Amino acid sequence: MGYRFTDLTAACQDDWRAYIEHDFVRSLGAGTLAEGAFRHYLQQDYLFLIHFARAYALAAYKSRTLADLRQAHEGLKAIVDVELGLHVGYCREWGISEEALASLPEARATLAYTRYVLDTGNRGDLLDLHVALAPCLIGYGEIANWLNGRQDTVRGEANPYDAWIAMYEGEEFQSAMRAELEWLDARLADVTPARFQELSEVFRDATRLEIDFWQMGLDRAD
């Protein structure tokens, strides 16, 4: 007993590395990612963020304490008021209008991932839901930091995807990631080995679905 977040990544080390160090991420960092792949990813990520916001609404519903309710409320507000606004603005810079976003067909990888998170939260409790969301929030923060530590990563105007890295290395996202790590470490500290096993399966499945999300971008799959 006495688990913490790093035990979840350790329990699916190969999948976790395959997600963090995916070819999509590497080529985005090097600035060599095909524009069409990035555009497809951005469009699907708009749909992802809408369901991500719904997952925070579910977290509010699943909350037993005012502190948890507040945390879910803050997460929902951050996605709806800040992240989605930024995303729409960012898509516009890439020539994707809000009307185009509103009428997008949802790719299977987006459907699978977002509905998996919502189903896991519905089936389980608040901890299940947070563990299903952890690869998103903690993973993207770790990806930005991993990219920054690499020789092959190109920053500034020479990389058309520089703003994407900047968003996830930024203090706002990084502090949300640290808060999530703290919350998870506190909750995982007193779960039983059997419960940890259940949670590590949720974490691994969500991580595999993040891998599919990157691959969907590379393949422009629908």
Ligand X SMILES: Cc1ncc(CO)c(N)n1
As annotated, the active-site residues are 136, 210
Question: Residue 74: which H helix or E strand, with range?
Answer: helix 66-77
Q: What is the largest CA-CA distance in the chain?
A: 51
136 binds ligand X (CB under 6 A): yes
Which of residues 128 and 180 has its CB atom nearest to ligand X in the complex? Answer: 180
Which of residues 3 and 71 has its CB atom nearest to ligand X in the complex? Answer: 71
Distance separating alpha carbons of residues 216 and 211, to the nearest angstrom: 9
45 binds ligand X (CB under 6 A): yes
Distance separating alpha carbons of residues 127 and 136, to the nearest angstrom: 15
Residues of this chain, 90-119, that bind ligand X according to CB under 6 A: none
CB of 210 to ligand X, least distance (A): 6
C-alpha angle 107-221-131 in degrees, rounded to nearest 5: 55
Q: Residue from 3, 24, 48, 183 that binds ligand X (CB under 6 A)? A: 48
Count of residues that bind ligand X according to CB under 6 A: 7
Which of residues 38 and 140 has its CB atom nearest to ligand X in the complex? Answer: 140
Which of residues 33 and 136 has its CB atom nearest to ligand X in the complex? Answer: 136
Distance separating alpha carbons of residues 34 and 27, to the nearest angstrom: 8
CB of 212 to ligand X, least distance (A): 10
Query: Which residue's beta carbon is nearest to the bound ligand X?
Result: 136
CB of 140 to ligand X, least distance (A): 4
Distance separating alpha carbons of residues 29 and 6, to the nearest angstrom: 25
213 binds ligand X (CB under 6 A): yes
Name the segment binding ligand X (CB under 6 A); options: 45-53, 98-106, 145-153, 179-187.
Answer: 45-53
Quickly tell me which residue has 């990389």 as its tokens: 159
Q: Residue from 140, 161, 164, 203 that binds ligand X (CB under 6 A)? A: 140
CB of 48 to ligand X, least distance (A): 5
Q: How many CB atoms lie within 10 A of CB 80?
A: 16
Q: Is 114 exposed, middle or buried (0-12, 13-18, 19+ CB in 10 A)?
A: buried
Name the segment binding ligand X (CB under 6 A); options: 43-51, 57-65, 124-132, 146-154.
Answer: 43-51
Region of 124 please: left (phi>0), alpha (psi -120 to 50) or beta.
beta
Half-sphere exposure at residue 197, Cβ-oriented, CA atoms within 13 angstroms: 3
Q: Which residues bind ligand X (CB under 6 A)?
A: 45, 48-49, 136, 140, 210, 213
